[in-house]
Structure 1
């Protein structure tokens, strides 16, 4: 055990420090194993200890101690991210922020919370008061506000409200990692550089998120004979503003064959569309389903929304998770197809790779424009083969956000890396915060 751990106990008390090997190992990992590449690179990385500060003052004391002793700090929420962003590369302290979990204030159109609050608890609380979040990830029952803001991008609700950068984070309060840590609040455009930055430029301790009056959401799974039918239906429905939607997710067979809890409801060899739509739009939805020759295979009424089984449990990267658990050697990519060429692009990929690549789309809005974001499931053979597939996607005009690197920025999302690097130097002058996640120019060849 490091000598400084005993010293840290004197600073904040033994009850907030975790040193048991199994617990530290668990808190040093996220869902990096979605990627076989990241698994090999990160499986042996572990912190020296973990700290669960119960107050902002305790967190500040830990940060001050770490700066004095030059100990690396890795902030973490629930660890449901997929890129190794919560894994310490150089030992040190994992900052588990899940004890900073208070709802500070619910106001008209917004909610002010601490960053360790679980999104599932926040959504549940809001809906009791007749309100709801704009967007949240499929892992929302476990994910924290800070983890989503610093490691996520979009999710359920993005078909209506876009991703995190589209006005879905109103304010963040940040603590710096300096000899005398500063705490400040950012609003407006300044928030952008603290979204999906892996917590490299400061520790997000509070956030203000937009909320709206709750909608009674019905959930449906619609089956189609072909994936092209499913995509055509989804695209038209996604553009139809008369039907209020929170989720439009499309998976081609055989991805649904891995959805164990839904197997008895889903017909063999059919592609599916998973939906959350306003219960009041039932007639309009039925019209769309009939028009495109779909068949409703499974439904959950609005009265049972978020009670037990949820359709969203099989969307976004939960679809990858089910394939990974019940398939063989399954991983994924993050892609964005050209909306004017999507069927031609899919055909080229299928002709080249067959069902080694299996298609999965999530319809979202980006800058107000409906876009089929894609999370194709890949049968993994080797790193070389994976990058051959990536190169083929890109050669055919499909943009890839690479989920098989822990380097910030190489995963896409058009991050303002120049601004983030500058903030890193200002807010973390000793490079202690999530060290190694911001790439240097020479790293590019390592991830391609």
Structure 2
């Protein structure tokens, strides 16, 4: 029986929107932090005191005002597909599950306005039926929400053409503040940088306007190489070839392709693979690039099968790690930025030092307009001490690590934090929004 603030919350918000049972609180206090054995140890016992499931912005405002009155921490949640504990309540309180704010408000020529709980997979389907499509999305797009991606992600499929979230891929955000009377802010322009990848620490994003592009017919191709070095040079050449429109350029060294069980029969034993999504009609260009780098096309999924069968993007970005975990639950991963100029030398250093302890997986993308080799290497995990020795080696050799084994925004090296801290002080004066996830700066 609910007592105290729990009973008052039921009276204010209604029984259908407040979940207090242990099963719901356990389930909705978790995300995919278990990709990291470090976070798994630290976060698996964390649980909210209550779950609030708003149906509209008015409900969000009521929940925030209630939590402010009772000084309850509020942790926002989309679909819970994040990997860094973004949606895990460190200090109990309320988890605000925004998955019911799922209306597509407006689709125009080149943009979509949606509530934060719209699933990216559903939005992509809707857009393609109208002759348009998403510009970027994560490999978890069938489950992930637009708000969860913008507030907890960075880039994904499509980033090879359109860049990351910070590269003009958010046009407007509606943000609710955490005050006695929550304010509704409409954020545009440079101030958007303070709310992208913010983990809900300085405001609750309820609605977004994002740019979209015209629909393309996508061919999927696996190009195979005896040497990973050739795979990387091919991937670089193709990534920089603007005559080939693309959504995905994902090189992986063997044995990573052996983890991809649904398509492994199409893959060459022992070969490095580059997973591609390119526009229909680009096969000749791909074969020419492959031949000049000692590779060959090994598997093709025609555009007619796009979204009708498992796609190559289901093995890319952090789905690569997921398939690895299904084979070997002791592995984990890193997120790394290699030099666009020195990446081949850096790859040699890593392989000479760590061998199969570190398996290389890259995602070519544009960062600020520059084509760069981003990496999500798979690491055979033994101890936390060893993991951070590997991280130190990477960084001492000019390979930037975006640490996926911390829930603290600043420590993970993601986003712009001076402005975020200022906005947190303005929008969350009691520090109740997802506390513990941001080290505030003056």
Fold conserved (TM > 0.5)?
yes
Paired position in structure 2 for 1:419: 419
**TM superposition shift of 1:440:** 5.2
Paired position in structure 2 for 1:305: 306
* Mapped partners of 1:222, 1:350: distance in 2: 22
Paired position in structure 2 for 1:446: none
Paired position in structure 2 for 1:193: 194
* Mapped partners of 1:101, 1:203: distance in 2: 15
**TM superposition shift of 1:22:** 1.8
3-state DSSP of counterpart to 1:264: helix
Paired position in structure 2 for 1:349: 350
TM-score between both structures, scaled by the size of structure 1: 0.96
**TM superposition shift of 1:291:** 2.3
Matches within 5 A, 1:88-237: 88-237=89-238
* Mapped partners of 2:75, 2:311: distance in 1: 32
3-state DSSP of counterpart to 2:209: strand
**TM superposition shift of 1:258:** 1.2
Deviates more, 1:432-441 or 1:11-20: 432-441
1:56 and 2:72 equivalent?
no
* Mapped partners of 2:440, 2:105: distance in 1: 38
3-state DSSP of counterpart to 1:410: helix
3-state DSSP of counterpart to 1:422: helix
The answer as to whether partners of 2:154 and 2:197 remain within 8 angstroms in 1 is yes
Deviates more, 1:359-368 or 1:14-23: 14-23
Deviation string 1:161-212 (CA, Å, 9 cap, x unpaired) is: 0000000000000000100000011111111110011111100000000011
TM-score between both structures, scaled by the size of structure 2: 0.98
**TM superposition shift of 1:328:** 4.1
**TM superposition shift of 1:109:** 1.1
* Mapped partners of 1:149, 1:66: distance in 2: 24
* Mapped partners of 1:263, 1:389: distance in 2: 30
Deviates more, 1:174-183 or 1:324-333: 324-333
| Count of residues paired in the alignment | 440
1:240 and 2:241 equivalent?
yes
1:47 and 2:48 equivalent?
yes
Cα RMSD (Å): 1.1
The answer as to whether partners of 1:258 and 1:327 remain within 8 angstroms in 2 is no
Paired position in structure 1 for 2:364: 363
The answer as to whether partners of 1:168 and 1:209 remain within 8 angstroms in 2 is yes
Deviation string 1:261-295 (CA, Å, 9 cap, x unpaired) is: 11211121111000000102222222222222322
Deviation string 1:118-159 (CA, Å, 9 cap, x unpaired) is: 000001000000001110001000000110000100000000
Paired position in structure 2 for 1:444: none
Deviation string 1:45-81 (CA, Å, 9 cap, x unpaired) is: 1101111111111111111111111111100100111
* Mapped partners of 1:440, 1:97: distance in 2: 25
The answer as to whether partners of 2:343 and 2:373 remain within 8 angstroms in 1 is no
* Mapped partners of 1:274, 1:95: distance in 2: 37
* Mapped partners of 2:440, 2:340: distance in 1: 33
The answer as to whether partners of 1:109 and 1:212 remain within 8 angstroms in 2 is yes
* Mapped partners of 2:57, 2:153: distance in 1: 23
Paired position in structure 1 for 2:330: 329
* Mapped partners of 1:339, 1:369: distance in 2: 8
Paired position in structure 2 for 1:16: 17
The answer as to whether partners of 2:18 and 2:51 remain within 8 angstroms in 1 is yes
* Mapped partners of 2:293, 2:54: distance in 1: 53
Deviation string 1:74-98 (CA, Å, 9 cap, x unpaired) is: 0010011110011000001111100
**TM superposition shift of 1:117:** 0.4
* Mapped partners of 1:313, 1:282: distance in 2: 21
1:395 and 2:392 equivalent?
no
Paired position in structure 1 for 2:378: 377
* Mapped partners of 2:17, 2:56: distance in 1: 10
3-state DSSP of counterpart to 1:167: coil
Paired position in structure 2 for 1:435: 435
The answer as to whether partners of 2:421 and 2:440 remain within 8 angstroms in 1 is no
Structure 2 gap segments, 5+ residues each:
none
3-state DSSP of counterpart to 1:425: helix
Deviation string 1:326-359 (CA, Å, 9 cap, x unpaired) is: 1141100111111222122111111211110000
**TM superposition shift of 1:386:** 0.3
1:80 and 2:86 equivalent?
no
* Mapped partners of 2:50, 2:327: distance in 1: 33
Deviation string 1:23-44 (CA, Å, 9 cap, x unpaired) is: 2111101110111111111111
* Mapped partners of 2:440, 2:114: distance in 1: 34
* Mapped partners of 1:81, 1:329: distance in 2: 20
* Mapped partners of 1:55, 1:67: distance in 2: 19
* Mapped partners of 1:12, 1:131: distance in 2: 38
Change over 3 Å in CA distance of 1:375–1:310 after alignment to 2: same
